[in-house]
Structure 1
């Protein structure tokens, strides 16, 4: 793998854009690993890492990042660290580095989703290094794409677009599903800088690539129709088309796999806010009810933030019967989550 200096420059500039807090809790412990040494690793150890990564991704979907991320951190500290330092054949060593980069990328994504952005950048940079050393184009560009999403969430439009473009350039041999994964993020980045033509061109490329993909569901970095509609909603909202954004977000939740509770809760919260922004109080309340269905069983800082938004945005309408009903239920859900 030969990532260009430009691609590395993009990640460096992004890091410089934000203060990065001290990173002691997990990453340093992974470097100073004290777990039992592993003398030599083979294909079975690589399969273990990939299996655990898939399981953590499933737990993330079902229960949220506050449950899944400590599991990932513990496995990295106690198991993955010794595996990476163990002897192995050249092929197994590369496979182990690649498997490690997937898990570290996922851990960074969870930190980003839980709004620990400095920590997420540290994980992302570690994932880039592991993927580079493994000659793993897919995880390398997937990680750059994750950094682009983080920049978009932080409203850093130009950096979001630069990182999304770098991710696409790092994957010249990508298949159709990965291509859709990358161009969808490019579309959002273009919309954030007001480039309507590029945004819709990228969305068309995303739709075309996804139509050529198989039906496999990837646990890490997967891209499906729900993700595509979410990108359509993000693009149209950034470009000021509120009705189109609402429709696309409805479509995203309509086709979302049932097990993706965390993703559905996030989409529902955004949809509820946009419906209220459009003046549709009853529809917003109905969507907040759907959010609460998922939120009650999630442990996620971002979901908690949406819960706070629910109460803040509906409080001015507490004299409205439907809004009052949602607020009462929200209070009950909040009390149950505190006492669990």
Structure 2
């Protein structure tokens, strides 16, 4: 019999008889390892998935990583170890990035975006053009990524006005109302126009929009600023040590107040980027200002950091929320703002409720109620109600719980109602009543809670996002009361709002409702509710 001619791998190794391929086992393992070391090629539709779009809109690369790993296109959730290897990180580093403060090192952001092959037009920072080595170096040196321009249909619409300060131009955000009433229309382009003008200029040009955003705030609506005021703001952002003063701190305050007002309608999906830009500006400018201004600036910063903590709670990122609550406390202490320190303790108590830690929740609420904080009556009312909720969870009698709820009502009735931006101003009679309903649910009286929820929510006085959240709590009370069909119906409506404004906190509550409804899982309304959460 003639000897069978041998077959060889390209590396020179003779192939085994049962190997019908063209590579030896060693080369096959090396090829597989090489493929696993780089991200797979994904279609353009991959980046249009709703959760991926939301992650990119958050300006948080950690959220982008998480959305990438959990994308249904992969067929299964990718481990942090696999993705970390692609990005030249370890698993612990990737975990911190996903759950911590948004990374601001632009060089790293660009490297990670390149590794994952994220389309440049979806990023919130500009990738360098090929062949522009100088531009690349300048861009990579900037610590804060460029914020995307808000869409014109949102309340943040406006333009960017080039204002000349000390012989150089700085782009200052201007809202539509200012443009219409101040005669600045011929000087101001739309956000898109300003971006295009900046792109056409050399990256070193002072009119580059990135030069303003490096030290300033994303384009937000600020009515009532004329040309003189805009020039003053631009000068302050250009030279904080020399120019930043009370009026500019007030500018920061107005940005914060508007973001809070927008949150109820837009949710964290739209509001968080504005807040991160503001806090970046505060953090940067606070290092350069005079001591007399620093305390004013940090007082605004502590308020903004507390609000950022709330936004991260709403998207269920507790580690990031704790980071900003701690920063709010630190800045409030330096600013000698006693009321804000007590307020942060209240917010930490509410976060403990998210985690079902009843004892910590109660002791934090009691600490927040100490007289040393000199809290306004409205906040003291909220603190008293929070203590009642803690006592309900720990099994105190219904009489004790209702007594504290009555105390909270009396405090709220005595609170002045003339400053819409005062600390705790959002805590209204409607908010108190729906939180009373939550307390009654925890006290084992869900049927009483259902009636309270229905009365308040039917009036339509709450914000869009809050209506969605408290409907989730209403669904929970209905489920506990043995009304599965109505609970499922209310839960389905709540889910639609939760996904619209990206309130993961609401989604978590709805998940608990679905568990309560499990014994009725065969009912059509419950099946439809389950599908609304898993779609």
Scaled by the length of structure 2, the TM-score of the pair is 0.52
Aligned match of 1:54: 257
Are residues 156 and 319 of structure 1, via their aligned partners in 2, closer, same or farther at CA, if it must alter by over 3 Å? closer
Gaps of 5+ in 1: 1-20, 336-340
Aligned match of 2:111: none
CA distances 1:21-75 after superposition (whole Å, capped 9, x unpaired): 7478537759x96644633411122112211212222232112223322331233
Instruction: Measure the CA separation in 1 of the matches of 2:320 and 2:529.
Output: 35
Task: Quote the offset at 1:319 in angstroms.
Answer: 5.7
Are residues 256 and 171 of structure 1, via their aligned partners in 2, closer, same or farther at CA, if it must alter by over 3 Å? farther
Counterpart selection for 1:42 from 245, 249, 267? 245
Counterpart selection for 1:87 from 289, 292, 314? 289
C-alpha contact (below 8 Å) 2:309/2:322 kept by paired residues: yes
Q: How do residues 154-165 of structure 1 correspond to structure 2 at under 5 angstroms?
A: 154-165=355-366
Instruction: Measure the CA separation in 2 of the matches of 1:94 and 1:278.
Output: 51
Counterpart selection for 2:331 from 109, 113, 130? 130
Instruction: Measure the CA separation in 2 of the matches of 1:33 and 1:211.
Output: 47
Aligned match of 1:213: 415
CA distances 1:238-271 after superposition (whole Å, capped 9, x unpaired): 221121222233344245634x111111110121
Instruction: Measure the CA separation in 1 of the matches of 2:361 and 2:514.
Output: 30
Task: Quote the offset at 1:83 in angstroms.
Answer: 2.2
Instruction: Measure the CA separation in 2 of the matches of 1:225 and 1:254.
Output: 14
Instruction: Measure the CA separation in 2 of the matches of 1:98 and 1:88.
Output: 15
C-alpha contact (below 8 Å) 2:479/2:517 kept by paired residues: no
Q: How do residues 258-337 of structure 1 correspond to structure 2 at under 5 angstroms?
A: 258=462, 260-292=463-495, 294-295=497-498, 297-306=500-509, 320=523, 322-323=525-526, 330=532
Gaps of 5+ in 2: 1-94, 106-141, 145-213, 216-238
3-state SS of 1:26 partner: coil
Mean Cα displacement is larger for which, 227-236 or 125-134? 227-236
Aligned match of 1:257: 461
3-state SS of 2:500 partner: coil
Higher helix proportion (structure 1 or 2):
1
2:279 pairs with 1:204: no
Counterpart selection for 1:26 from 101, 106, 109? 101
Instruction: Measure the CA separation in 1 of the matches of 2:474 and 2:453.
Output: 6
Larger gyration radius, structure 1 or structure 2: 2
C-alpha contact (below 8 Å) 2:341/2:373 kept by paired residues: no
Aligned match of 2:300: 99
Aligned match of 2:354: 153
2:441 pairs with 1:237: yes
Structure with greater contact order relative to length (CA < 8 Å, sep ≥ 6): 1
Mean Cα displacement is larger for which, 100-109 or 309-318? 309-318
Are residues 299 and 166 of structure 1, via their aligned partners in 2, closer, same or farther at CA, if it must alter by over 3 Å? same
C-alpha contact (below 8 Å) 2:298/2:335 kept by paired residues: yes
C-alpha contact (below 8 Å) 1:229/1:251 kept by paired residues: no
Scaled by the length of structure 1, the TM-score of the pair is 0.78
2:298 pairs with 1:223: no
Residue correspondences, number? 308
C-alpha contact (below 8 Å) 2:479/2:487 kept by paired residues: yes
C-alpha contact (below 8 Å) 1:65/1:110 kept by paired residues: yes
Are residues 199 and 300 of structure 1, via their aligned partners in 2, closer, same or farther at CA, if it must alter by over 3 Å? same
Instruction: Measure the CA separation in 2 of the matches of 1:235 and 1:321.
Output: 30
Are residues 214 and 289 of structure 1, via their aligned partners in 2, closer, same or farther at CA, if it must alter by over 3 Å? farther
CA distances 1:51-110 after superposition (whole Å, capped 9, x unpaired): 121222223211222332233123322x222221222352x3222111110000001111
